Amino acid sequence: MASLRVITPGMLTTIQDHGRWGWQDRGVPVAGPMDPRAHRLANTLVGNEIDAATLELTLVGPEMEFEDERIAAVTGADFEVTVDSRAMPVNVPFVIGAGSVLRVGSRRRGARAYLAIAGGIAVPPVLDSRATHLPSAMGGLEGRSLRAGDRLPLGKRGRTPFPLKKGYDPFFLAPAGHATVRVLPGPQLDRFAPEALDVLQSAPFVVDAASNRMGFRLRGPVLRHAGDGEMLSDATTLGALQVPAAGQPILLMADRQTTGGYPSLATVIGADIGLAGQLAPGDSISFVVSTVREAMAALIAQEQRLMAFESGTR
The answer for residues whose C-beta is within 8 angstroms of residue 81's C-beta and 6 or more apart is 61, 74, 87, 88, 89, 90, 102, 103, 104, 105
SS3 133: strand
Q: For residue 125, give the nearest of 18, 265, 228 by alpha carbon.
A: 18
Q: Cα–Cα distance between 277 and 175 in angstroms, integer?
A: 10
314: pLDDT strictly greater than 60: no
DSSP-assigned letter for residue 266: E
97: pLDDT strictly greater than 70: yes
Q: What is the mean pLDDT of residues 264-280?
A: 97
Strands 250-252 and 240-242: antiparallel
Q: List, for residues 285-298, the tens digit of each pLDDT value.
A: 999 999 999 999 99
Q: State the pLDDT confidence band at 233, using cuts at 50, 70 and 90.
A: confident
310: pLDDT strictly greater than 90: no
52: pLDDT strictly greater than 80: yes
Pair 127, 105: CB distance under 8 Å: no
209: pLDDT strictly greater than 90: yes
Domain boundaries, the chain: 3-153, 178-307
Q: Cα–Cα distance between 154 and 72 in angstroms, integer?
A: 12
Q: List, for residues 245-262, the tens digit of each pLDDT value.
A: 999 999 999 999 999 889
Q: List, for residues 155-172, the tens digit of each pLDDT value.
A: 987 666 666 656 666 667
Q: What is the mean pLDDT of residues 17-24?
A: 95
Asked, colleague to colleague, whether 3-153 and 178-307 share their fold, the answer is no
Q: What is the mean pLDDT of residues 206-217?
A: 97
Name the fold adopted by 3-153. Answer: Jelly Rolls (2.60.120)
Q: What is the pLDDT at residue 168?
A: 64
Question: How many other β-carbons are positioned within 10 Å of the β-carbon of residue 247?
Answer: 17
Q: State the pLDDT confidence band at 234, using cuts at 50, 70 and 90.
A: confident
Q: What is the pLDDT at residue 189?
A: 94
Q: What is the pLDDT at residue 36?
A: 96
121: pLDDT strictly greater than 80: yes
Q: List, for residues 8-19, the tens digit of each pLDDT value.
A: 999 999 999 999
- pTM exceeds 0.85 for this model: yes
Alpha helices in the chain (DSSP H): 36-46, 196-200, 273-277, 292-311
Q: State the pLDDT confidence band at 175, using cuts at 50, 70 and 90.
A: confident
CATH number among 2.102.10.10, 1.10.1200.10, 2.40.100.10, 3.40.50.620, domain 178-307: 2.40.100.10
Q: For residue 109, give the nearest of 301, 296, 275, 287 by alpha carbon.
A: 275
As a whole-number percent, the residues of the chain with pLDDT over 70 amount to 95
Q: What is the mean pLDDT of residues 103-107?
A: 93
